[in-house]
């Protein structure tokens, strides 16, 4: 398989959308409440809430899913367009 040196744009390979805000809003949960319940810092929850996560920490994601009673695919969605 040959590799070319082309840089792909987001529209070519899609993007990952973080849906934590929607899940929390539906449960009427604040970022402070989730931070306490998931035993993590507010700043970590805030990054996820704003969708500005650069690297996904599987442990943090698992704690969010446990607290919110949801699945990984409820929090993270891959969009091709």
Q: Environment class of residue 6 by beta-carbon count within 10 Å: exposed (0-12), middle (13-18) or buried (19+)?
A: exposed
Fold of 14-79: 434 Repressor (Amino-terminal Domain) (1.10.260)
| Rounded CA separation 56/15 (Å) | 14
- So what's the pLDDT on residue 4? 60
Q: Over 8-54, what HEC string results? A: CCHHHHCEEEECHHHHHHHCCCCHHHHHHHCCCCHHHHHHHHHCCCC
pLDDT tens-place values along the chain, 81 residues long: 455 666 666 567 788 999 999 999 999 999 999 999 999 999 999 999 999 999 999 999 999 999 999 999 999 999 886
């Amino acid at each position: 398989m040959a590799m070319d040196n082309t840089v792909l744009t987001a529209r070519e390979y899609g993007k990952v959308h973080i849906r934590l805000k929607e899940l929390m809003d539906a449960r009427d949960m604040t970022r402070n409440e989730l931070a306490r319940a998931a035993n993590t810092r507010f700043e970590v929850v805030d990054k996820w809430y704003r969708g500005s996560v650069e690297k996904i920490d599987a442990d943090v994601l698992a704690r969010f899913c446990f607290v919110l009673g949801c699945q990984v695919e409820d929090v993270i969605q891959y969009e091709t367009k």
